[in-house]
Amino acid sequence: MPLFVLPFPQIDPVLVQFGPFAIRWYALSYIAGLVLGWQIAVRIAEAAALWGTRARPDRGTLDDLLVYWAFGIVLGGRLGNVIFYDLDYYLSYPSEILAIWHGGMSFHGGFIGAVIAMMLLAKARKISSLALFDVAAIVAPIGLFFGRIANFINGELWGRPSDVAWAMVFPRADSLPRHPSQLYEAGLEGLLLLLVIGFAARKGGLKYAGFLSGLFGVLYALARSVAELFRDPDPITEALPGGLTMGMVLSVPMALVGLWLIMRSLRTKAHTP
């Protein structure tokens, strides 16, 4: 055990409360990620030079996209948590399925929900799904960053026991000092992906249909897998044989589809006159 352990900052999960109505950091993280991501998405779509000859989503489509994102991420994230992580519990207590204020959102479920929502919007608007996917790939790390910070504030999804100098004792876990793995994920899945994918977009990535979407899939899978090495998985619902976790396993399809999209985009661009 380290000689000194950083105290866990006791931040009330409820930011403001008005009688029975409460505004929680967890909900605020989703709102901030969606609204800020949408605002940046509008600017990206308006920057014609970034797209080359590709068709860009118009403002009306992006206005609708905010609503589609919200429903897709929330519904998919909650159902993903129910199906991937603790189906037996939710079958025993079905009323808890709707209690999203208690926590329990799966990124991979939210990702699938967002993809389906964007496909539906693209079909309704008669535009390419890849145009929406590529925009989302640039701004998605913003929501991931806020979401992981909210996990830290809630004192959930803590790390494995550690003797590093910045280890913390999480009151909801036990008395052992642990990695603040939520902050690692905020840095890797949020800030790092935002910088790398944003740089790729500025260097012409949007001119290759599906390239940024594929890059996000590959980089997220890598970042999540690295972060999982420090996060303490639930021994019942998440830990798998061979030291694998559910987060690692669910990231494999993302990486494979991401690689396919990258190769497809480069091959298609190479054959475009």
pLDDT of residue 80: 82
Q: Binning pLDDT at 50, 70 and 90, where does residue 273 land?
A: very low
Q: Which has the closest alpha carbon to 65: 112, 110, 108, 129?
A: 129
**For residue 46, what are the CA distances in angstroms to 55, 66, 72?**
11, 16, 24
Residue 22 predicted with pLDDT over 70? no
Q: For 229-244, how does the pLDDT look when each residue is reduced to its tens digit (9 = 90+)?
A: 999 987 766 767 878 8
* pLDDT, mean of residues 103-113: 83
* pLDDT, mean of residues 134-162: 93
174: region left, alpha or beta (phi > 0 left; psi from -120 to 50 alpha): beta
Residue 14, strand partner residues: 24
Say which residue, 176 or 103, is predicted with more confidence. Answer: 176
Number of other CB atoms surrounding residue 106 within 10 Å: 22
Q: What is the mean pLDDT of the chain?
A: 88
Number of other CB atoms surrounding residue 22 within 10 Å: 14
pLDDT of residue 11: 77
pLDDT of residue 69: 93
70 residue type, one letter: A
Residue 190 predicted with pLDDT over 90? yes
Q: For 119-144, how does the pLDDT look when each residue is reduced to its tens digit (9 = 90+)?
A: 999 999 999 999 999 999 999 999 99
pLDDT of residue 99: 67
Residue whose pair of structure tokens reads 């800020």 in the numeric block? 36
Q: Read off the tokens for 53.
A: 């000859």
